Amino acid sequence: MPVMDMEQALQRREIIIQAMQRLMREGVDYGKIPGAGDKSALLQPGADKLCNLFGLTAQYTFLEKTEDWSGERHTGEPFFYYQVGTRVFRGEFLLGEGVGSCSSRESRYRWRKAERVCPICGKANIRKSRDGGWYCWKKTDGCGSVFPDGDRSIEGQDAGRKPNPDLADSVNTILKMAYKRAKISGTINATSAAEIFTQDIEDFPNSTHTDAVGHPLPPWSQRNP
């Protein structure tokens, strides 16, 4: 037999809807992810509010953890990967579980944009002129130097993306992101809110989730487990 009657189940669903409409703010607690359908993605502040509303607490554990600071085991590139499991309780009763992961191979952490540097002042302030040529923009503390189209001192520089030289500075952020995703996953499952909310790549829709060795995960595996 069900653990709650139909009226209780309907009331619970209505409370979540009311929480979304009256307690949460779009863009802060939840938001639409481009290309992810009509369902809103639950964000961490919204998950916190649902946990407070229903009296839930989350317990976390590492399911997998890789920290290769030197890159010795990953072709010379430092690599960090965390997979966190969460169990969501109300009192002593387990109401739901979730999983979240984050890796330094996600594009947000792995790459930085290579900026063209002014050969005169050495600052990354080079801009393309609408009239042709290049200039070092004074408004961003540049020197104001001007360079013609075809100048190899400018156009010979690599302006694509480059490996993040300060990846170690992002380790704490990567770890927190794994915990954050685990909490959102567990909260959705514990409150049966999957009808209303999804969990997607909620913080950076242009990035790519990866597995433990950095291979992109298929779209279905990037959603709420």
User: CA torsion 214→202→192→13, rounded to 10°?
Assistant: -170
Among left, alpha and beta (phi > 0; psi -120 to 50; other), residue 79 is: beta
- List, for residues 61-82, the tens digit of each pLDDT value: 999 999 999 999 999 999 999 9
Q: Are β-strands 40-42 and 197-198 bridged in parallel, bridged antiparallel, or unpaired?
A: parallel
Q: Which tops the pLDDT comparison, 213 or 203?
A: 203
Percent of the chain with pLDDT over 90: 66
Instruction: Say how far apart CA 108 and CA 21 lie, in whole Å.
Output: 31
DSSP secondary structure code for residue 118 in this structure = -
Secondary structure (DSSP) of 167-189: GGGGHHHHHHHHHHHHHHHHHHH
Q: Is the pLDDT of residue 54 over 90?
A: yes
C-alpha to C-alpha distances, 138 to 146, 151, 152, nearest whole angstrom: 11, 20, 21
